[in-house]
Chains A and B, each alone.
Chain A
Amino acid sequence: MTENFDIVIVGSGPAGLSAAARAAQRGVNHVLFERTDHASDTIYKYQKKKFVMGTPDVLPLQSDMRFEAGVREDILDTWNAGLEEHSVNISYNCEVTAIEGSKGDFTLTVNGKETVKAKHVIMSIGVQGNLRQMGVPGQEWERVQYQLDDPLEYEGETVVVIGAGDAGIENAIGLTAQNQVVMINRGSEFARVKQGNLNAIMAAIESETIECYYSATAARVEPGLLVLKTPEGEAEVKCDRIIARLGANPPRRFVEACGIKFSSEDRSALPELSATYESSVEGMYVVGALAGYPLIKQAMNQGYEVVETILGHPVRPADQALLEERFAAIEGMSVDEVLEAIQTNVPLLSHMSRLQLREFMLESQIHRFKPKDTIFERNDFTNSVYSIVDGAVDIQINPNDPSEVVTLHSGAFFGEMGLLSGRRRTATILAHADSILVETPRRAMLKLISSIDAAKRVIDEAAIARQIQTHLAPNIDPALLDEVVSTATIESFSAGDVVIQEGETSNDVYLIRSGSMMVSRRIGGRDVVLSYIPAGNYVGEMAMLTEAPRSATVKATVASETIRIDAGAFKRLLEREPVLKREIEARFQDRLVQNVETEQRPDSGDIIDFLVNQGLGEATDVLLIDEALCVRCDNCEKACAETHGGKSRLKREAGPTFGTLHVPTSCRHCEHPHCMSDCPADSIHRAPNGEVFIDDKCIGCGNCARGCPYNVIHMAYPPPEKPGLLQWLFMGMGPGPGEDKTPREKPAGARETATKCDMCKDISGGPSCVSACPTGAAIRVKPEEFFSIITSTKSGRA
């Protein structure tokens, strides 16, 4: 007999559990189907004792299930207790294989045979999907596994890890502690993995800790043996265990088979949902990670809300109170009215679904400005983006004359240049009229750009026009730039890519909008570096002006983006604008002189090369030591330790030296910080003066330390209380002034956190390492100043 339910919930992750608990609480006839023999499989498969976060912190939890940040085991225990407490009707080992029918009369097939009937279906199956199997003869061997809970469970074995993705690499590295590890990579290199993992696996292969087969695939398995297909023929690997991390088949095919439409063919596309999470199939709802909400709290709230919606109860979204608070600056409008106004007025934000916009607004701020209020100032290092919901703002386009302004009106946005280039604000902006602005922080903006193509297009189009205006022709009427702007294109380069090749006959001009470039020329059979050009400058004007072949090669020093400006359009502009033409020619002559100077001192090119290799191409502020002045007193390290709770973030001696110019191991405060890109707790920020710092939200995951190519982030336990001078002197308590106070062993209950240079942002005298240097050997340098170091370098003395 087929059972009948009001609500069937598929998948017992946070969203499914929360929905089922709500249904149980409301006394609804329900069932929760779980494919495995335990609830919440994704979290169940986390590494033991993994710390699970409760982000976003501001979002309240609205669910019958309890949840707070903590270790995996505690969270699973709490949920299992919740299942009992609410008498949730959960069926384990039940995989739903098909769903047919329509609202009020769905038929679900379980494990391919039994069927149940449901009036409503809630899909909360996450995005984990089904793990891919090896699909080769012999894979039934009981020591072939597709996941690894605890790498320390195995000892003294030879383990083969198949699959060179992040999961495979993390497993392989974890296993090396106690086992011999062999890695099988289908490709010829490790592509599309996190930088930190890439560094770790390359180091392990280099040091022969891990043996790696490239371009190899599994052919068959025999107990104790894996046979590989390699370009050189078959190879046999003896092993005690095979761990295959081949990814998962995404659940999309199944979801589509149930009739649910996705927004596009794109791999990252999400199911089309209404504001109440209802899919294109009436009566079928999608919540949690599958709906595009990977955070536990969001998923749980949605589970609760969706059951209330089905039952026809009024739902007050969990974020309602927060949004009301956010929107308090605008009186007399409800949350929905404000959201509506934002979406109708600001094209940049109009492509988001209402749910996405709510989330976006939780991370953003609404400001109200009066005329003449300063929104931000030129040379600030902030990187948020503002959208004008109502009112207008004035951009001061001429730093020398504040009265020269361009006015932006409602619907426009600004501040994207700082976001894109990672550099200081290029202009001061004041409110023109009573204005309502949405300020969005860097992270939320990057999420918007990467997830919504239309938003990226809107930003790019505006950015091209503004960047050309700012960096190339600040005093020209924007209307005259139309032809140049409309023919301009954005081009991206990886570190080391050639932008312009010496001798070629192209003559377009490149405006560097992010990253930096190095100009070199081939002299006497070797590449001599002529100059270093940071973002905000252009290259390639020589060939355009002289119509000669390219006189030098331009390479990207780091991942960079340029705006390529069509030579013809640019020349026509110069013909019309003699003043601009003279400026560009003057700049051209300066460069010629500079190149001649550099060529006369070939070692200065080597210094540029050296500095660029040390990451100065992406730095905004870097510590340089002149070893001819440095008396090795280590007062810089002591000062760093003394001003940062006893832990120095600087290693003076470590790091490379060129001539007497030494680049110590210390943060470069990169334009687009590598550390910031993968911080799950969002605790790495850039301060208004450009300092990249870690706040106390750090959870100690170590992603930043692994991601930093310059090894300047260290994981450290909090240092012990600093003893008073007399206590130290007479009682021998704790470490003395300037001494390293890092605990060698883990103090009870302590958690490691990431520490790095914050450029002493809270100390009025600036970086202590510099102010404590007795001889002037330590200085901090910005990219604009690099060239003056090079020109002042004489006989190896900087």
Chain B
Amino acid sequence: MHEGFLVYGGFRYLKLATLLSVVAIAVYGWHVPPDEPNGGTWLGYGLGSIGAALILWLMWFGIRKRRYGTTDTLQGWLSAHVYLGLSLIIVATLHTGFQFGWNLHTLAYSLMMLVIASGFFGIYAYARYPQLMTENRRGVTTDEVYNEIGELDRECRQVASALPDAIASLVLVSCNETRIGGSVFRQLSGVDANCGTTRAFDGIRDLASSAEATHGADIRKLISLIGKKSTHLRTMRRDVQLKALLEIWLYFHVPMSFALLAALAGHVLSVFYYW
């Protein structure tokens, strides 16, 4: 019933991209250039034009994605974006004729390959992380977990009000100094080395042995509450981590493709200037 973007339309765009690549390779093999293979032959110009057109069309996806209420589906566009994007590896590489150097032309090529590599990660992320997110959250929504954490904090404060100051202040650390997410690094790591809740948990455990017997029941309750909170925090940090992994590559993929666009423009201009 559900059909992912990779299998969309019976692999329509995989077939198209394969056809494009195979034809490009066949013609490259058949073609005998006047000297060595390069971008300046009719085949080189042909492959270059196809590659440049593909790059422009692939970048159009960013605009198409933000057009709503259309007659065709974005899923089809993404499927085409992925497979035709991958075919660029063949088309553009053949266009170079395997001539590389420290110049603008190879810069454009390298940028393109980096964009494609980041796109590869994107495909991997889209295929793997959604399911992990669902398994991690076990059917509970983010809002529900945040509410639950707030409720646990409230209960902790209530229990702590009858306990010695040393413990109560640790509860405040747990309530006030716990962060979920934050910097990019923190989001991606999925843990917080300086987590207020963990510190409070360890501190209370240490204090528990020296506490008065009358406080025993309350401390045990506190430990179980903070333990429960830690579980929720783990879930949410993992959620944030997976969400970040689903998005982080785009922060590479998109700026790099703009850099590629600039380098491509330079490449095309310089080629025609020195013609």
Contact = CB atoms under 8 A, between A and B. Distances in A.
Given A635-B74, A765-B71, A779 B1 contact: yes
A771 B73 contact: yes
Contact of B134 (A657, A760, A771, A785): A657
Given A632-B246, A775-B5, A657 B139 contact: yes
Interface stretch (A200-208, A280-288, A394-402, A636-644): A636-644
Q: Which of A737, A765, A774 has the most CB of B within 10 A?
A: A774
B68 interface: yes
Contacts of B70: 765, 771-772
A628 B69 contact: no
A631 to B, nearest CB: 5
A776 B3 CA distance: 6
B73 A770 contact: yes
Interface residues of A, number: 43
Interface stretch (B10-18, B125-133, B193-201): B125-133
Given A628-B130, A773-B75, A774-B74, A760 B69 contact: yes
Q: Which of B2, B5, B125, B246 has the most CB of A within 10 A?
A: B2
B134 to A, nearest CB: 4
B72 interface: yes
Contacts of A788: 1
B179 interface: no
B243 interface: yes
Contacts of A785: 1
A629 B130 contact: yes
A789 interface: yes
Contact of A632 (B1, B8, B130): B130
Nearest to B1: A789
B74 A772 contact: yes
Contacts of B72: 765, 771
Interface string A109-125: 00000000000000000
A785 B1 CA distance: 9
Contacts of A771: 69-74
Given A760-B69, A764-B71, A775 B139 contact: no
A698 B164 CA distance: 59
Contacts of A675: none
B221 interface: no
Contacts of A653: 141-143
A217 interface: no
A614 to B, nearest CB: 13
B136 to A, nearest CB: 11
Contact of B65 (A627, A662, A774): A774
Interface string A761-798: 00111001011111111010100010011001000011
Interface residues of B, number: 31
A632 B73 contact: no
Interface string A628-672: 111110010011001100000000011011101010000000000
A174 interface: no
Nearest to A639: B68
A416 interface: no
Interface in B132-154: 133-134, 139, 141-143
B134 A772 contact: no
Contacts of A294: none
Interface string A747-769: 00000000000001001110010
B69 A779 contact: no
A781 B2 CA distance: 10
A626 interface: yes
B68 A798 contact: no
A458 B130 CA distance: 55
Contacts of A630: 130
A640 to B, nearest CB: 8
A775 B69 contact: no
B172 to A, nearest CB: 29
Nearest to A770: B73
B245 to A, nearest CB: 11
B261 interface: no
A775 to B, nearest CB: 5
B68 A775 contact: no
Given A629-B2, A775-B5, A656 B139 contact: yes
Contacts, number: 102
B266 interface: no
A774 B75 contact: yes
Given A642-B68, A738-B66, A771-B69, A628 B134 contact: yes
Contact of A781 (B1, B71, B130, B246): B1
Interface in B58-81: 65-66, 68-75, 77-78
A775 B65 contact: no
Interface in A415-446: none
Contacts of A632: 130, 133, 243, 246
B4 interface: yes
Nearest to B7: A776
A776 B5 contact: yes
A627 B141 contact: no
A653 B68 CA distance: 20
B2 A777 contact: yes
A629 B4 contact: yes
A660 B138 CA distance: 10
Contacts of B75: 773-776
Given A772-B74, A775-B75, A643 B68 contact: yes
A436 B86 CA distance: 64
Given A629-B2, A643-B69, A738-B66, A773 B130 contact: no
Contact of A775 (B4, B71, B131): B4
Contacts of A631: 125-126, 129-130, 246
Interface string B1-36: 111110010000000000000000000000000000
A626 B125 CA distance: 16
Contacts of B69: 639, 642-643, 760, 763, 765, 768, 771
Interface in A284-301: none
Contacts of A764: 71
B5 A792 contact: no
Contacts of B4: 629, 775-776
Q: Which of A624, A627, A738, A768 has the most CB of B within 10 A?
A: A627
A642 B67 CA distance: 9
A654 B141 CA distance: 7
Contacts of B1: 624, 779, 781, 785, 788-789, 792, 798
Contact of A627 (B5, B68, B126, B130): B130
B78 to A, nearest CB: 4
Contacts of A658: 139
B74 A773 contact: yes
Q: Which of A626, A643, A763 has the most CB of B within 10 A?
A: A626
B74 A798 contact: no
A660 B68 contact: no
A660 B139 contact: no
Nearest to B246: A631
Nearest to B71: A765
Contacts of B125: 631
B230 to A, nearest CB: 23
28 contacts: A627-B133, A627-B134, A629-B5, A631-B126, A631-B246, A632-B130, A632-B133, A632-B246, A635-B65, A635-B74, A639-B68, A642-B68, A643-B69, A653-B142, A657-B139, A763-B69, A765-B69, A770-B73, A774-B75, A776-B5, A776-B8, A776-B75, A777-B130, A779-B2, A788-B1, A789-B1, A797-B2, A798-B1
> Which 5 residue pairs are nearest across A and B when measured between Cβ atoms?
A765-B71, A626-B2, A642-B68, A639-B68, A627-B134
Given A628-B130, A632-B133, 20 more contacts: A624-B1, A627-B130, A627-B133, A630-B130, A638-B68, A639-B69, A656-B139, A760-B69, A763-B69, A765-B73, A771-B69, A771-B74, A774-B65, A774-B78, A776-B5, A776-B73, A777-B2, A777-B130, A779-B1, A797-B2
Interface of B: 1-5, 8, 65-66, 68-75, 77-78, 125-126, 129-131, 133-134, 139, 141-143, 243, 246
